Structure 1
Amino acid sequence: MKKNTIYLLFLLLSLGGVITSCKDDKVELVEAPVINLSEIGASNSKKVVVGSELHLEGDIIAVGLIAKIEIEIHQEAGNFKILKSYNDGPYIGVRNTLFHEHIDIPSDAPAGAYHLDFTVTDNVGNKTTVESELTLEKAFDITEHFVAGTLSPASGSYNSVYFIRLLEDNKAVFMGSGNDLVGEYELTSDSLLVTISDPNNYRTARFAINEKHELTSAYYRALSMVYKTTGVLLAINEQNQFVGKTFRGEEFKMGPASNKADWYYKFNATGSHYGAAERAAAAEPTNAFENINNSAFKFKNSAGGTELGFVSGDSLTVFRSQGLFYFGTYKLLQ
């Protein structure tokens, strides 16, 4: 009986020691890091241009103190990755911080849809990841565009159409109703200057360009004559913009007076021929034209007449020289 009592007391003391030990060894849980990314790309656009920098900014709170920050940007459909990590510096070992960095985007990164993972690990081993979609946009290349617009003399008697092709090595080709003229261009962050230096055919065209690569103003001078000028910077299309389309509008002749209240331009199913008439049914597409960058055309007939036009949005702008000058802007028929 005495032995049983002693054994029971020993067992109770042992259990008490285990219970006390468990209480003493209890580890306090530390909250995982909290991340609030307020800017992914300029103005939180979630876009960045290839070859530039991605703006990243956000608040980080880590009770367990920041041990590491990792950034991974990977293609949604592909294997290209951009990795960046911070293991030392002002962000490490602190509880609260404002993260602000510019991440280099390599110039060889394929444009398209990407996914961004922003991960913070604390000193305890807790890890938090914030994810976001990200689009890498192709860098602007002026040689993948051309200028199209209209020129009008001070009298306002007509609006002729012109094109400027912008080639490699700053070579420019001016195209109008006459012969093509070769010159050069200079592009800055906010302007495009085109010069034809031939003293017998001197031309200068100057355009203001905004950050969206849109032309916001235009100036044109041929020899000593200054023209009222419009211009739009058009991307060189991969697909023919004339295929199977019909446009309708008012045609003018040598001034503001209407020549044809309704005038139609019809293009065939392959976008290689067009016709023009007062009725759509009569506009047989029999004229084979020179296709310029899939959104502009030039046609010369056997009688010496020339017709030029370009598509911008749902409009076709045309100028025809046939003894007299004819011009107009025509809307796409749906």
Structure 2
Amino acid sequence: MKTNTLNITTNLMKTNFKFLAIIAFFGILLNSCSSDDDNGSPTLNAPEITSFEYGEGSVHSTDQVAYKGSDIHIEAEINAEAVVSSITLIIHAHDLTPGEGEVDWDYENVYTDANLLVINPTFHKHVDVPTNIPAGEYHIELIVTDELGNSTEIDGHLEILDYITLSDFSIDTTAVRGDDFHAEFFVEALNGIHNITVDVHAHGLTVGEGEVEWDQEYEYTEGYHGLTEVEFHQHIVVPANAPTGEYHIIFTVEDEEGNTKDYETHIDITAS
């Protein structure tokens, strides 16, 4: 019996061709499905903060300095592929110890204003700086989160200063009535000095016979008015008929913008 070799070869070729065609078909189908999946659920990048500036609010400064009792101007440009859901601003101190009458400042605010909940918003806010916080270096942080849960952050440092700074105090702690006491300290006033006052009053002292209550405020402008840096140096006479005992003294420097800075101390007045 003769075998038709040509027919067998032809049948094998047809079988192989069908097998390869099936494999190619499923390969194309899988690739198509994968492409459809990619096109249906594109991956969006997290928001990008392209600029971040801050400083004294009254002049929209970018010098990264602000003043107690004033405000901070903060602005950021944001590129967001998905709609922004929130912007968080955080400001806190760097190891600052509050002085007498001061408190820690730990600011955090989550902004969800309608004009921010968009693609590519511009963040522009002014934040009030308390008057009773320590001066020094603060950490400032901005966090942007989109509706997909992606977030990004940027941070920096902010120096918070006093409009008026008092330092290098040298003030007598005792004085004899009829004599004077010496007071000296250094003043720096960004806006220039308007005046310096000294308020002296007693702490519950009984006024004896021939004595007169010493409760007086002294104002000094000559040699100080308009200057931004100066040494305050005065000798204040104690009335000869003032009751003896402890007195409270408040030194107040007022600048040309109405900002004030106080320094308080006590002095003991003796008869001799």
Structure with greater contact order relative to length (CA < 8 Å, sep ≥ 6): 2
* Structure with the larger strand share: 1
* Larger of the two Rg values belongs to structure: 2
